[in-house]
Amino acid sequence: MEDIVRQDEATLRAEASRLDHEHVADVVERLNQHDPETNAALLAGLSDERVVEILDLPEFEDSGEVIANLPRERVARIIAGMSADRATDLLAEIDEPLRSQLIARLDPETRSAVSRLAAYPEGSAGSIMTTEFVSVPSDWTVAQTLRHIRAVEKSRETIYTICVLDPATHALVQAVSLRRLIAAELDANVLSAGRHRRPITVEPRTDREEVAQLFSKYDLLAVPVVDERFHVVGIVTVDDVIDTIFAESTEDVQKFGGMEALDEPYMDISFTKMMRKRAGWLCALFIGEMLTATAMQHFEHELERAIVLTLFIPLIMSSGGNSGSQATSLIIRALALGQIKLRDWWRVALREMPSGLTLGAILGTLGIIRISVWQLLGFYDYGEHWMLVAATVGAGLLGIVTFGSMAGSMLPFILQRLKFDPASASAPFVATLVDVTGLVIYFSVALVILSGTLL
């Protein structure tokens, strides 16, 4: 028994020494394989500086639980050393009453930064910004600014973008890059390193996806977040933007797959949590799809007289769903990238109508060929009216694929108009919508073409 403890301690010591030397991102990757108690024991042996580095990475899991296992006094010191945005996220993960106790122990500056950041809604620029940026008054020289940067470097999230403020009003005058500052004359005014145009800024409530688009468009490393008086309340840095883009596109793909977005990696999420994320949409879609049974019941009479029609129901329905899924994926991405806006819906409709008709005509022709070949080569006998059956399938496909393209492309707009996330227009959602309508289109076409013969 003692042996095991000794061995455990030796392993822990060896592990702790590795934790001191590797890149912090690799350290976090390793720590994530342990449970929170082990991690608390490991962090206890590291310097405050190192623990701050580890907790500053959003990838570190269960940080709230780990923190709860460390001495309070130390935790307060560590939180004060962390970047304000990560400290805010960390405190949000800690349960009461510990959270209030920790907040009470923070220095006033950190406390006010954390409480301001916590007020911004999730998914906004305010929620991913940090308050540790470099700012200098606009009457400083380049040399003064560089000296200041050197002095405060350690405590700032980024020094590559410097906010130059009006000395009187403290409003943002310009955002200067370190790059241009380095290249500028040392005794020139700091603004000589800026451009003569209004700086690119965002507001605290700007959607983080919009922020990401700005970074992509203007090749930014950081963007100041300003309030209505143009005071800088924080700065969004490119590393948070990259995490945002990855997170948003994962959410988009999962929603498009017809489920709620997981907020954890696939292998880490618990079984019950995953079931909740998947079962909700699956049941909703199932209940919607029940309308197909109702529609089929409605056409029961026709079904009995022309069993041959049922053979093509899956083929026709899935084609409508597939063309709808294509159109939806196109529109969701174009909306997410800002390539099209809500007001462009009619331009999209004007593109999708001919697209749907063309694709429908292609599939309709394929369907007619399929039936004719099987009939003429004797693989299957569709009855004496096989030509009319083929015509019904062909016309049905034309109508359903066109409807699928239109419904699939318009659904994201409708959802956005109703203030839902357009990415909720999932492939299964579109397929369900098209399935029910598709059946009605198919049987209506059949009634027109086959009435007097089969029906």
Nearest C-alpha neighbor of 407 from the set 437, 449, 378, 380: 437
Q: Contact between 369 and a copy of itself (CB under 8 A)?
A: no
Q: How far apart are CA 294 and CA 292, in angstroms?
A: 5
CB burial readout 81-120, b (16+ within 10 A) else e: bbbbbbbbbbbeebeeeebeebbebbeeebbebbebbeeb
Q: Contact between 191 and a copy of itself (CB under 8 A)?
A: no
Asked if the bond preceding 97 is cis, omega within 30° of 0, the reply is yes
| 297 to 46, 155, 201, 348: CA distances (angstroms) | 70, 70, 59, 35
Residue 73 tokens read as 């006094």
Nearer to a copy of itself, 138 or 329 (CB): 329
Q: Contact between 245 and a copy of itself (CB under 8 A)?
A: yes
Q: What pairs with residue 163 in β-bridges?
A: 135, 175
The contact pattern for a copy of itself, residues 34-53, with x = CB under 8 A and - = no contact, is --------------------
Q: Contact between 448 and a copy of itself (CB under 8 A)?
A: no
Q: Contact between 153 and a copy of itself (CB under 8 A)?
A: yes
415 three-class SS: helix
Least Å distance, CB 165 to a copy of itself, is 21
Q: Do 368 and 391 form a contact (C-beta atoms < 8 A)?
A: yes
The contact pattern for a copy of itself, residues 341-360, with x = CB under 8 A and - = no contact, is ---x--xx--x--xx--xx-
The contact pattern for a copy of itself, residues 260-289, with x = CB under 8 A and - = no contact, is --x--xxx---x--xx--xx-xxx-xxx-x
Residue 371 tokens read as 């039936």
**Subset of 398-417 contacting a copy of itself (CB under 8 A):** 401
- Number of residues this chain uses to bind a copy of itself (CB under 8 A): 115
> Which residue from 63, 161, 319, 437 is in contact with a copy of itself, where contact means CB under 8 A?
319
The contact pattern for a copy of itself, residues 76-115, with x = CB under 8 A and - = no contact, is ----------------------------------------
Q: In what order do the strands lie in the sheet with 161-165?
A: 134-137, 161-165, 172-177
> Which residue from 292, 392, 424, 437 is in contact with a copy of itself, where contact means CB under 8 A?
292
> Which residue from 83, 127, 201, 426 is in contact with a copy of itself, where contact means CB under 8 A?
426
